[in-house]
Structure 1
Amino acid sequence: MTDRLPPLQTLRAFEAVVRLRSVSRAADELGRTHGAVSKQLRALHDDLGLQLFDKAGTGLKPNAVGLELADAVAQALGHLSSRYGQLRRHARSPEVRVACSATFAMGWLVPHLAAFAQAHPDIRIRLSMTSAREMREEQDADLVVLWDRAAYPPEDQARAIRLADSSFGVVAAPGYPARLADGRLVAPCRILHDHTRGAWDQWSRATGLQVEAPASISFPHTHLCLRAAVAGMGVAVAERRLALADLQAGRLVAVSDFCAFPEGFAAIPHRARPLSPEARLFVDWLSTALQAAVA
């Protein structure tokens, strides 16, 4: 059971008086009379049973209790106003918030997003680009798009919507001394991802090849792993779509064939909110576009 609250307009009047340090100025801001605001203050005093102001000459000065309550009211009104504005904007222009890795967003999603905008001009896609680690802490996105969901809770994995196959292979700069021999990938250095190191293990299981690399370096983003490979720092395992531009430009070469990972790309919906019709449209488009990209 929650405590009964005074009317919202009473709390708004009280917060305005404290913030503006004047009943008259608060009345002007709220579009009410001086008497109406004074009456609301008296009602709040009576309901709370505590004094919220001290006399200061002919005016009022909020005391410690008044300042504490005014701060709580201001925060609550600010949150309410912000959330109401979000809902109002959504009603006027539906929005889908999508969280994904910065590499996926810049390397594949954004270049293809114009097609979705043309098909659904009334739906806004709001991207949150982050690292794989931070994606696991995402709380506000309607959808989290990813390929590696092993680190997610079982309930999140169960809700995941499969989008398309993911295809991984080993890449390196032209001329880098990496080779396949006797069931092994041999290279001086292997490039690892700080937060999705399972890619190498999955690649080894899928291909049956063991990796022999005496040295390794790691980076927090796939984009950095690919840049390191382009710079000749080692071999990297990469999703084909994300490495395609470098492969086509000759900055990278495929040391191995690309092979599908079992789980593929997926979208994990928000834990508490049901999937909106707009989010469902985006999921369907994304699935079709990802599959077409490797067809």
Structure 2
Amino acid sequence: MPPLATLRAFEAVARLGSLSRAAAELNVTKSAVSHQLRALEADLGVSLLLRGGTVRRAQTTEAGAALLVSVQQALTLLDSACRHARAGASGKRRVHLNVSANPSLAALWLAPRIGRFAEMHPDIDVQLFLHASQDPAWKAQDLDLAFLHKQALGPRFAEAGDIPLFTETVVPVCSPALIPPHERDDPLALARHRWLEEKHIDSPETDWRTWRLRLGLPESAGRDPLVFSGLSTVVAAAAAGVGIALGRAPLIDEELARGRLVALTPALRMPGSWGYVMRLHANRPMDASLPKLVEFLAEEGQGRRAPVG
């Protein structure tokens, strides 16, 4: 694996948009950050950032966008593990809660909110694990709470004991640099750019064939979409300017609020077929801090709609 310093430098530049800001955050020189980036690209054998031309803000390549998602998830887990270690060394009594979610929810929606919860409750540590299926590792990861992606239109969206978090809304999104503001309500403008698509089961609203009809575009409009696995990868590619994605709110709300993404034709957004529920570990003694986390996240899930429009 490449040195951790090179991965941290890449993440900081991609997130902050410049070598200078990344150097200031990492407390190193700008030339040191540049050297670490070149070393990482040489190690991996691929370009991670766009350079030259009219590029003013650091932007990731397609390969860089895909790598960035995993690097940010890994750094989040490392940060949480180090905070656990420090708390143990200090001898202070701290509460530890273990939660699990799929990579897209964890990276796009859950991680920022767990950060805000930690600021409000410094005595509660939340360890975030990832699961790729609907079967979290309850025992192996000693989980208190899991987030499950369920078909919202089905009769078993929330089973007995589940706590509904939110349902989804789908809207086309892209980097603000890709389409100027006066063209963002014009369906023909969407056809002039590459389409990005998430590989998603039983979800016609995340398929560009559905949106071609909804936008009134001819069959010949647009090229075959680039298909990615996982919404977090699709969002990273869209924010990097690779093309137009079909974003699922509220998972994309943070990116919209930061201005990394903008919504296109928001009046035509479609209700999603899926949503999320929170599920507590059955027959497990509940720490008194767990309801605080559940209540906080439930309120976050209910107050999410404004950024989409």
After TM superposition, the score normalised by the length of structure 1 is 0.51
Consecutive unaligned residues of structure 2, counting only runs of 5 or more, are 1-87
Q: Deviations over 1:33-71 (max 9, x none)?
A: xxxxxxxxxxxxxxxxxxxxxxxxxxxxxxxxxxxxxxx
Report the equivalent of 1:163. 165
Report the equivalent of 1:96. 97
Is 1:139 the counterpart of 2:148? The answer is: no
Task: Report percent identity of matched pairs.
Answer: 23
- Indicate if the aligned counterparts of 1:98 and 1:143 stay in contact, CA closer than 8 A: yes
RMSD: 4.3
In structure 2, C-alpha distance between the alignment counterparts of 1:281 and 1:99, rounded to whole Å: 17
- Indicate if the aligned counterparts of 1:188 and 1:215 stay in contact, CA closer than 8 A: no
- Indicate if the aligned counterparts of 2:204 and 2:210 stay in contact, CA closer than 8 A: no
Q: Structure 1 pair 273/216, CA: closer, same or farther in 2 (3 Å)? A: farther
1:64-103 equivalences in 2 (<5 Å): 93-103=94-104
1:133-212 equivalences in 2 (<5 Å): 134-140=132-138, 141-146=143-148, 148-150=149-151, 157-159=158-160, 160-173=162-175, 174-175=177-178, 181=187, 186=191, 189-195=194-200, 198=203, 200-201=205-206, 209=214
Amino acid at match of 1:168: V
Q: Secondary structure at the match of 1:158?
A: coil
In structure 2, C-alpha distance between the alignment counterparts of 1:279 and 1:204, rounded to whole Å: 43
Question: Displacement, 1:170?
Answer: 0.9
Residue 218 (structure 1) aligned to one of 216, 227, 243: 227
1:31-70 equivalences in 2 (<5 Å): none
In structure 2, C-alpha distance between the alignment counterparts of 1:197 and 1:191, rounded to whole Å: 18
In structure 1, C-alpha distance between the alignment counterparts of 2:133 and 2:256, rounded to whole Å: 27
In structure 2, C-alpha distance between the alignment counterparts of 1:282 and 1:259, rounded to whole Å: 30
Amino acid at match of 2:242: M
Q: Secondary structure at the match of 2:294?
A: helix
Question: Displacement, 1:161?
Answer: 1.5
- Indicate if the aligned counterparts of 1:187 and 1:235 stay in contact, CA closer than 8 A: no
Consecutive unaligned residues of structure 1, counting only runs of 5 or more, are 1-88
In structure 2, C-alpha distance between the alignment counterparts of 1:262 and 1:156, rounded to whole Å: 10
- Indicate if the aligned counterparts of 2:197 and 2:207 stay in contact, CA closer than 8 A: no
Is 1:238 the counterpart of 2:247? The answer is: yes
More deviation in 189-198 or 95-104?
189-198
Q: Secondary structure at the match of 2:151?
A: coil
Report the equivalent of 2:298. 287
- Indicate if the aligned counterparts of 2:196 and 2:226 stay in contact, CA closer than 8 A: yes
Report the equivalent of 1:268. 279
